[in-house]
Chain A
Amino acid sequence: MKSAFLNGYINEEVYVEQPLSFEDDKKPNYVYKLRNALYGLKQAPRAWYERSRDFLLSKGFKMGKVDTTLFTKKIGKDLLMLQIYVDDIIFGSTNQEFCEEFGNMMANEFQMSMIGELSYFLGLQIKQLKNDIFVSQGKYIKDMLKKLVWIMQNQLALQWEQMKAEIVTQVEIWWIKSCIGL
């Protein structure tokens, strides 16, 4: 989904200052009133959710009672399911046709790019094989390790320096103390 939050409509009155290069020379004290949601706005996620929810409900989807970001639709014997995670949407169906149809429908309503078969979601790598599905986090772990190992090496080196500094001062103090006969 491209720039999902911009799709949301806003019900409250929200104003923004004139942004750079959109200033009006004649009316410098005026502010803009928002019609659509903007990124960084407190209301933006809710506005986007309401927009997408209303659209899906109008297309005959049923909202999940427990998980309100799960939408299902029954067409004859087939089932179409979709799960929304902010601006990521995953969907699946028992019938390939409905998947394509739904993809086109969403592309018409929102600016959307289809990535194709699910292979990566929220840091989870998903491999779909003929008879099974395999979920792993190899990429996430690799990135995490790289980051943590780097931090730890720096951290430990720093601590050792601090400790060494402390030892030296203590020894010095002891030496000074003994020198002056304490």
Chain B
Amino acid sequence: MVDQKLYRSMIRSLLYVTASRPNVMVSVCMCARFQASPKRKSFEGNKKNIEILEAYTQNVGLWYPKGAKFELIGYSDSDYVGCKVERRSTSGTCQLLGRSLVSWSSKKQNSVALSTAEVKYNATGSCCAQILWMKATLKDFGINFKQVPLQCDHESVVKLTNNPVQHSRTKHINVCHHFIRDHQQKGDICIESIGTDDQLADIFTKPLDEKRFCKLRNELNILDFSNIC
């Protein structure tokens, strides 16, 4: 019904906005899922995104404060069956250096998962992969990290990673997701448990209510410029 080319060009423009405004990531990615056959409704969703950008002051961006603490920390979270069509879940991850957000992602997972533990396990795996890459990049700058903390709000995932044995309920999880155990043992990362309220990556997995959205947005240092000066 709707012009596909136009829809895609809108998505492209919006995706670049996420470079300085990770808080719109979820809604843009949600719209991007309908690229193959955009209907009028998804078109309106996209229009809403644009209207929101317009309504909010356009000076919102990422704020990088100067700080003595310079540590890499990763957060990983996911929803459970966010996509009602394919029954797949969305994983969201973000990495912070000190207090500054430097890397983030929101992605629908490639496979259907059977339990929340599996979903979060997959998300933690992709967060681990990103951390490994960032560690390698930071080495170029002459900074070495060991035992990078990876915050996950699911107790089972922490246990699964720390105790590398096969359970009857995790047998089916693909081997590629188990590389995280390897890196946990090598000491590259260190999986930690975190409360759901403190989980910063929550904002990359699902639409949130206004209060929580604003709280997480502020904690990720996505601020309006006029509020700083």
- Whether A119 is near chain B, meaning CB under 8 Å from some CB there, is no
Among A138, A149, A155, point to the contact of B59 (Cβ < 8 A): A138
Question: Chain A contact residues: over half helix, strand or loop, or mixed?
Answer: mixed
Interface size for chain A: under 10, 10 to 19, 20 to 34, or 35 or more residues? Answer: 20 to 34
- Whether A131 is near chain B, meaning CB under 8 Å from some CB there, is yes
Among B54, B61, B225, point to the contact of A145 (Cβ < 8 A): B54
Cβ-defined contact, A124 with B20, below 8 A: yes
Bound-state CA distance A155–B66 (Å) is 46
- Whether A70 is near chain B, meaning CB under 8 Å from some CB there, is yes
Bound-state CA distance A81–B142 (Å) is 11
Cβ-defined contact, A134 with B61, below 8 A: yes
Cβ-defined contact, A133 with B64, below 8 A: yes
- Whether A164 is near chain B, meaning CB under 8 Å from some CB there, is no
* Number of A-B residue pairs with CB-CB distance less than 8 Å in the complex they form: 85
Bound-state CA distance A84–B96 (Å) is 24
- Give the Cβ gap from B8 to chain A, nearest Cβ, in Å: 12
Residue in chain A with minimal CB distance to B228: A134
- Whether A171 is near chain B, meaning CB under 8 Å from some CB there, is no
Q: Which of A122-162 contact B (CB under 8 A)?
A: 123-125, 127, 129, 131-138, 140-142, 144-145, 147-149, 151-152, 155
Cβ-defined contact, B66 with A131, below 8 A: yes
Cβ-defined contact, A148 with B10, below 8 A: yes
- Taking A66-B140, A72-B141, A124-B19 as contacts, is the C-beta distance between A136 and B225 under 8 angstroms? yes
- Taking A72-B142, A132-B63 as contacts, is the C-beta distance between A137 and B19 under 8 angstroms? yes
Interface string of B13-29 (1 = CB under 8 A from A): 11011011100000000
Provide a sorted-by-A list of 9 A–B residue pairs whose CB atoms are within 8 angstroms.
Answer: A64-B137, A66-B133, A129-B228, A132-B66, A135-B20, A135-B61, A137-B16, A140-B16, A148-B10
CB-based closest 5 A-B pairs: A136-B61, A64-B140, A133-B64, A138-B58, A132-B65
